[in-house]
Chain A
């Protein structure tokens, strides 16, 4: 599994370098290897197909034109690309007219509280995220849920609070403590 993942990372680094040189074939390969992952990320956050298409289109154009900057970023290629997509999605949600209404949330909120829900299982199965999944499971349910609602679905503090029917301050504390614990847990050897 790990070797497979390293292979992908090495391949993506190579393709990004080719893109920086203007190689459009390499860019097509890069798109083929990453578009489904990135589209999945965008769709979770934006929850609308048309928005996700628009944002991901912008992101790939941006990845193409900034491929030359990748070397100086010193992060894993998929992390770099995913961060571009996440940031662009969050910018999109910032536009005032784009605020989604409460009933559009098609989120399996309860799932994040359980120990063996679908997405968390999927996370544990992917080798790069196994440590993260293990650490997430060590969090209190409320901490895990609020972090996932924020990170995974792009909800703001107040949206998370509304969703969980909890005071804003309480939610902020859950998120902050949860992140601190995650950091400590991930820093410790497995």
Chain B
């Protein structure tokens, strides 16, 4: 893994990825790496910008009308509500299928003996393939002097790329913009302190998302990097 930090190798792999000679498992692995490494994605984007104009040499070939008919049929079947504007298009597509999993897990968390107050809400955060990556839960905030959320890693995931941090966002739902909860550490089980002002909002949380950000967190107060995990909140 360490070798992926070598700048020359990164450049070479990015070029081969774009030109298409990076194949098979190496290609899949490189795609996975890009998801967590914005700098690598930028290197790839630079190569795409360099080489994609070559595609113009292919010339234009009009596809048969049946292609549009097939595409239009599939688009018509997809339902997408009017967007909430801004970057919220981003958050759509939370896996509904994960809800069943949330409930099973919630039950488990509910009965597990622990010295802390019972949890009030839980969210299972899935990665892009819909696999659960983190479970986040929190007790009723009213009862707490120092509000926190508990973050547990359920599946090993790639490490943070150098120079990046992972920032957790609460999605209030509706048209409201994501609210930063803070940066997580690499611990498998951690408590993340919340600003007291946030505590009262956690009960109404609709979802959570994790984005990759520069060191120190998002400079803008809104997610700027790729979203790697997201999940819907469930009241217990």
Contacts and interface: CB of A to CB of B under 8 A. Distances in A.
B55 A37 contact: yes
B87 interface: yes
A41 B61 CA distance: 9
Interface string A133-152: 00010000000000110111
Given A64-B78, A83-B48, A40 B67 contact: no
A60 B23 CA distance: 23
A182 B204 CA distance: 54
B104 interface: no
B55 A41 contact: yes
Given A35-B63, A94-B23, A154-B20, A22 B81 contact: yes
A28 interface: yes
A132 B224 CA distance: 31
A147 B57 CA distance: 13
A107 interface: no
Interface residues of B, number: 49
B1 interface: no
Contacts of B74: 57, 61
Interface string A8-29: 0000000000001110100110
12 contacts: A35-B62, A35-B67, A40-B60, A60-B71, A72-B87, A79-B49, A83-B18, A86-B52, A90-B27, A123-B53, A148-B54, A151-B54
Interface of A: 20-22, 24, 27-28, 31, 35-37, 39-41, 43-45, 52-53, 56-57, 60-61, 64-65, 67-69, 71-76, 78-79, 82-83, 86, 90, 94, 119-120, 122-123, 126, 128-129, 132, 136, 147-148, 150-152, 154, 156-157, 160, 175-176, 179, 182-183, 186
